[in-house]
Amino acid sequence: MNIYTKGGDKGTTSLVHTKNVSKSDDRIQLVGTIDELTSHIGLVKSMLTDQDMIQNLEKIQSTLITLMAGIADPYKRDYRISDEETSFLEAVLSRGDRRIADVIEEAWRHGAKFDSWSEYFSRQTWMDAFAACGVDPTFYANRLRDREEVFPWTVIADGVTEKFLWREREQAYAGKITPDCREKCSGCGANRLCEGGICHA
């Protein structure tokens, strides 16, 4: 799980309703591990045709998501978690490339609107739109990415290099803390956006 804060925060991050904790805190690592597990389960689901098995895996995913909420917020038990179908669509749209534009228009032409409201959301409308446009949504939602993959947002230049972000990912997995930017430059690349090449984070 990559936990990265550009502004520098002395190697801490926040959980729900708690004080900041170290990014190497067991809870942060556990949430990241469970999140990856749900992704792996989603990948397996995308390869199955047995509906009973798919429903069983969806129940497991739902339980894991509830578990993550409990870890992040141990003092509150009334969790509001998006249903699996809405979460799946959100995953596709957030990771999609230009091919998803046609899907969105197709779904809109067939009545999709206000889809974050359960009374308006229709999974079948979206699945029909994916099929009509020849797009496999599981390609975006249920697939692990490797280091060499080019993402749709790669064309956006914010100064921070992909090499640095990947290094931060590996640091997070190893439980290592990146120093505060104001104490030691980590070489993220943002200094190239500043006049004189000095980052004033």
Helix, strand and coil in the chain, % to nearest 5: 50, 0, 45
Per-residue pLDDT averaged across 81-92, rounded? 78
Structure tokens at 185: 């430059």
> Whole-model pTM?
0.51
- Rounded alpha-carbon distances, angstroms, from residue 192 to 136, 159, 183: 39, 6, 18
Average pLDDT, the chain: 79
Question: Looking at residue 183, what is its pLDDT?
Answer: 80
Question: Looking at residue 154, what is its pLDDT?
Answer: 81
Q: Confidence band (pLDDT; 50, 70, 90) for 199? A: low
pLDDT per residue over 154-182, tens digit each?
888 777 888 888 888 888 878 788 888 77
